[in-house]
Amino acid sequence: MKNRIRTDFSRSIPRPLPFLKGRKPLTQKMPNRIQVLNESVINRIAAGEVVERPVSVVKELMENAIDAQATSIQLDIEDGGKKLIRIKDNGLGMGHDDAFLALERHATSKLKSEKDLIGIPTMGFRGEALASIASISRMRLMTKDELEEVGITIVSEGGALTHSEPVAMKQGTVVEVRNLFYNTPVRRRYLKNSSFESGHIHDLFIKIALANPSIAFTFTDDGKTKVQVPAATSFKERVYGLFPSDVAGNLIELDYKLDGASLFGYVARPPYTRSSMRYIFTFVNSRPVRDRLVNASIIKAFSSLMERGRYPFAIVLIETPPDEVDVNVHPQKAEVRFLKPGLISNLIMNAVNEAILGKPFGDPRPIHDWSRPTPAVTGVSRYISRDGPRQGRDDFDIAEHGPTFSGSPITTEYETLNDSKCHQLSDLSILGRLPNSFIVLYDDDDLVVLDHHAAHERLIFNTLRSSTDQNRRIESQDLLMPQVVELTALEAEALSENLKTLDAAGFVIEDFGSNAFLIRSIPSWLNGTDLDTLFKGFVDIALDTGLKTDPETLRENLFKSMACKAAIKERSKVTTEDIKALISSLDKTDGPSDVCPHGRPILVRIPFTELRRRMGRK
């Protein structure tokens, strides 16, 4: 005989949870899977789950769906999750009594005793999520397991049960969370705009979809489908289904084992890089984590393969015995603690180095031949060989336009352009050009080293900011062949929200459909810049900082990125006329001219008195 459906909870006056005390148990065919934890286990659990924002709700509910062995999960949100979060799965579902018990605090099917806290195999385990979510929202839970003929609907408001009734549905669970924080207005005011909240949810959704390729996922935002991927037969298929072709085409597979731990995933081969750590996806036993040890090891593995300030694209899945990793060290389970941190670090670095360089990180370096002395190497001696200047160069360098000198590098305190003794740069004489885009100038008192890249970057930034402040659009030039830039759904959303800023900077961009954009025109000063890399940098900034700050700060950060990408590079050929034009522009620029937009000095002055002192002359 099936359980009788209790509908006596449909009362006009809600009463707070717990609402099961004193209720007689229903006739059952099988024992409940969900039990309220005993006090000793509760006391061992870390600080209670706090629902900080909509993404916290999504995380908990999606983890419950995965633990319920769902093969299909659909997420729908409205107004960034503030108005509605709905998660539907086809998992095991719950019986009637289990459904009511699930709303009790510390009621879970995943722990029975203290010993179960060691080696937790499931995504969730604390039994706090549904009770916490119900207490600050209007929530509807609909669920059915394989033994019930019909499912059960439970409705709560602010943690108080208001209604329950039978419902015809397939096996699985649907949780609807509406009006998040409606009864805690201070916390609701803390939430950001819908784009910000939606962006965080989108990020999390991608991570969970990556970690669970055998599950089909669908994500809609205000009725628009943002992500839809079928169940994949391989991890590679899932990666290629979530990221655009330019990412997938640069990926190298990772597959490495070390002392009982294993690592699988993909990294993009240098020089494909990103401007932030946003695209480093890390998982431990299929759980998305933000672990300092893991991230630091990935960055260290790439340290010699990319320039400073750039980060790899990496998807790293680490598998380790459950009893060798503690997931109960963070309220949101976002951090973990490894029993053997050194092993995990070596696992990551060896995997990356073997995939890219063909050998583990710890391989011995080749032995140098010490039979002959090695000459001292300095920045100047690398550029000017002892046999004379290099031939075939038509750019401006110190070997062609001034005296040479060798010896140890000069180390002294420098004076920046702000110093009172500095005159107009145009008054200085040009001595030559050193490696690393440095220009050497001088007058009667000082040797002046100017960073050409930093100076050019400052000029472009000042022009962008001045034009925008004056509501004057920067001049554009049409591309002979318009260029298409493909982005992920989240990246496309971030770029769309900043098209006005880019238009003021001289870009003409059109939505090309399917998360792609058509670039028709670019600013006249942007010649020679890789547009795909430039726009990926814009998106990184918009996602990492733009949604967290005011529009003015976002605009400044975007302009800094533009200026840095467009500024002259170290290996560019420069003529004397180019240097004169740069110096003249710096003297006339409208805005600061002593440091680059990122705060680095544009030039240093080395007094000749200091040179005389170091040479032992009075």
Condensed to tens digits (0 to 9), the pLDDT of residues 516-556 reads 889 998 887 776 677 777 887 888 877 776 555 567 777 78
CA dist list (Å): 218 to 77, 200, 241, 244, 248: 11, 16, 12, 17, 21
Contact 201, 177 (CB under 8 A): no
Confidence of residue 558 (pLDDT cuts 50, 70, 90): confident
The C-alpha atoms of residue 538 and residue 348 are separated, in whole angstroms, by 29
pLDDT mean across residues, the chain: 76
Q: Provide the pLDDT for residue 70.
A: 96
Q: What is the pLDDT of residues 434-478, one digit of tens each?
A: 876 788 988 888 899 988 888 888 888 888 888 777 777 778 888
**pLDDT-wise least confident of 38-47, 284-293, 441-450, 496-505:** 38-47
Q: Provide the pLDDT for residue 455.
A: 87
Can you say whether residue 362 is alpha, beta or left, with left for phi > 0 and alpha for psi between -120 and 50 degrees? alpha
Strands 314-319 and 280-284: parallel
Residue that is written with structure tokens 């579902």 in the block: 93
The C-alpha atoms of residue 597 and residue 594 are separated, in whole angstroms, by 10
**pLDDT-wise least confident of 65-74, 416-425, 475-484:** 416-425
Q: Provide the pLDDT for residue 4.
A: 38
Contact 157, 41 (CB under 8 A): no
Residue 352's closest CA among 225, 255, 228, 246?
Answer: 255
Q: What is the pLDDT of residues 357-398, one digit of tens each?
A: 776 654 433 333 323 333 333 333 333 233 333 333 344 443
The C-alpha atoms of residue 177 and residue 190 are separated, in whole angstroms, by 18
Q: What is the pLDDT of residues 298-327, one digit of tens each?
A: 988 887 777 777 889 999 999 999 888 887
DSSP reduced 3-state for 82? coil
Q: What is the pLDDT of residues 134-183, one digit of tens each?
A: 888 999 999 999 999 999 999 999 888 999 999 999 999 999 999 999 98
Q: Provide the pLDDT for residue 361.
A: 53
Contacts 24+ apart (CB under 8 A), 420-423: 421/445, 421/605, 422/605
Per-residue burial over 259-282, b if 16 or more Cβ lie within 10 Å, else e, is eebebbbbbbeeebbbbbebbbbb
Q: What is the mean predicted confidence (pLDDT) over 93-114?
A: 71
Confidence of residue 124 (pLDDT cuts 50, 70, 90): very low
Residues 6+ apart with CB under 8 A from 327: 120, 284, 287, 333, 336
The C-alpha atoms of residue 155 and residue 483 are separated, in whole angstroms, by 52
The C-alpha atoms of residue 301 and residue 350 are separated, in whole angstroms, by 8
Residue 236 has pLDDT above 70, yes or no: yes
Q: Please give the residue that has the higher pLDDT: either 426 or 174.
A: 174
CA dist list (Å): 351 to 38, 111, 294, 541: 43, 34, 13, 29
* Tokens standing for residue 195: 């784009």
Q: What is the pLDDT of residues 184-210, one digit of tens each?
A: 888 888 888 888 899 889 989 999 999
Q: Please give the residue that has the higher pLDDT: either 2 or 90.
A: 90
Residue 272's closest CA among 360, 356, 207?
Answer: 356
Residue 279 has pLDDT above 70, yes or no: yes
Q: Provide the pLDDT for residue 31.
A: 62
Per-residue burial over 337-364, b if 16 or more Cβ lie within 10 Å, else e, is ebebeebbbbbbbbbbbbbbeeeebeee
**pLDDT-wise least confident of 32-46, 223-237, 486-500:** 32-46
Residues 6+ apart with CB under 8 A from 537: 274, 275, 561, 565
Residues 6+ apart with CB under 8 A from 261: 318, 319, 320, 321, 324, 340, 343, 344, 347
Confidence of residue 27 (pLDDT cuts 50, 70, 90): very low
Q: Provide the pLDDT for residue 72.
A: 97
The C-alpha atoms of residue 381 and residue 383 are separated, in whole angstroms, by 5
Residue 578 has pLDDT above 90, yes or no: no
At residue 166, what are phi and psi to the nearest 5 degrees?
Answer: -70, 155
Residue that is written with structure tokens 């010699």 in the block: 304
Q: Provide the pLDDT for residue 149.
A: 93
Q: Provide the pLDDT for residue 140.
A: 97
- Domains of the chain are 15-227 (3.30.565.10), 243-357 (3.30.230.10), 393-618 (3.30.1370.100)
Residue 47's closest CA among 329, 326, 331, 328?
Answer: 331
Q: What percent of the chain has pLDDT over 90?
A: 27
Residue 126 has pLDDT above 50, yes or no: no
Contact 197, 180 (CB under 8 A): no
